[in-house]
Amino acid sequence: MHIHARDENGEPTQSAEIYREIKEEIENRCDVIFQPSTGGAVHHSPQERMQSLECGPEMATLSTGTCNFGTDVFMNNQVTMETFAQRMLELGVKPEIECFERGMIQNALKLAGKGLLQMPLHFDFVLGIPGACPAQLRDLLYLSESLPDRCTWTAAATGKNQLPTAVAAILLGGHVRVGFEDNIYYRKGELAQSNAQLVERVVRIAEELGREIATVAEARRILSIPQKKEK
Ligand code: ZN
């Protein structure tokens, strides 16, 4: 469950305290893999962005490169990447490598080579961001085929590309991310009622296509995350 926090005024925040509150509320209701963003919003500094790592998550995102992001720049230079990866290693947080371009795969593998990331890596291909890689099927094919064996991947795409990209990922053996971060429409002209509605649709499609839905324990196994001890 990939999360971006907001403060009491509805503004994006990377506060560990607010992430911790959200995490507790969710965990009181269901067992999920909680994954805060370390991307935050483009105006957050790297120091602000990495605060979310301190909420005790099993996973967190790690963007391994810089790209244009609409009219802004999403900045992740070598120092930022290494600092984030180092802290995740110390805290035992499994990174989801957020990858907006092909070069970001290479950057992640370089971090693994330096011992800052542990193989097998899990990638999330975020496609269709204005200024970065588009969400055509050939883009997803190229990115997913560029990963070393044993690495796992998820695909996410913005707006109208969300559903076709999710279906393509299901067919290619990947995993999917759907929800309001990337798309707020259920179909053209019709707003989605909830994240759950978007998830339920993709579950129905996966089942029709013969891709079974993982339990949380199976998801941890697939992602090489240690199983949680019973409370
Ligand atoms: Zn995000």
Sheet strands (E) in 92-193:
94-99, 122-127, 152-157, 175-176, 185-187, 190-191
What average pLDDT is seen over the chain?
Answer: 96
Distance in Å, CA 60 to ligand 1 centroid = 10
Distance in Å, CA 181 to ligand 1 centroid = 6
Strand, helix or coil at 156?
strand
Q: What is the mean pLDDT of residues 122-129?
A: 98
Query: Would you give the distance in Å from CA 220 to the centre of its chain?
Result: 15
For 53, half-sphere exposure in the C-beta direction (CA atoms, 13 angstrom radius) is: 24
Strand 59-63 and strand 94-99: the pairing is parallel
Q: What is the mean pLDDT of residues 12-28?
A: 97
Output the six-digit token pair for 190: 């019709």
A 10 A CB-CB count for 14 gives 26
Output the six-digit token pair for 4: 């971006």
- For 32-51, the pLDDT digits (tens) are 999 999 999 989 999 999 99
Q: Do residues 40 and 48 touch, judged by C-beta distance below 8 A? A: yes
Q: Do residues 81 and 64 touch, judged by C-beta distance below 8 A? A: yes
Closest alpha carbon to 132 in 122, 123, 121, 143? 143
Distance in Å, CA 48 to ligand 1 centroid = 15
The predicted pLDDT at position 229 comes to 66
Q: What is the mean pLDDT of residues 148-153?
A: 96
**To the nearest whole percent, how much of the chain has pLDDT over 70?**
99
Q: Do residues 95 and 60 touch, judged by C-beta distance below 8 A? A: yes
The predicted pLDDT at position 18 comes to 98
The predicted pLDDT at position 31 comes to 94
Distance in Å, CA 209 to ligand 1 centroid = 27
Instruction: Report how many helices (DSSP H) and strands (DSSP E) the chain contains, helices first.
Output: 8, 13
Q: What is the mean pLDDT of residues 15-40?
A: 97
Output the six-digit token pair for 43: 């105006």
Distance in Å, CA 37 to ligand 1 centroid = 5
Contacts of 223 (CB under 8 A, 6+ apart): 33, 59, 94, 122, 152
The predicted pLDDT at position 230 comes to 56
Distance in Å, CA 190 to ligand 1 centroid = 23
Say yes or no to pLDDT of 23 above 80.
Answer: yes
The predicted pLDDT at position 228 comes to 81
Say yes or no to pLDDT of 231 above 80.
Answer: no
Q: Do residues 31 and 46 touch, judged by C-beta distance below 8 A? A: no
The predicted pLDDT at position 86 comes to 98
Q: What is the mean pLDDT of residues 136-165?
A: 97
The predicted pLDDT at position 176 comes to 98
Q: What is the mean pLDDT of residues 51-57?
A: 97
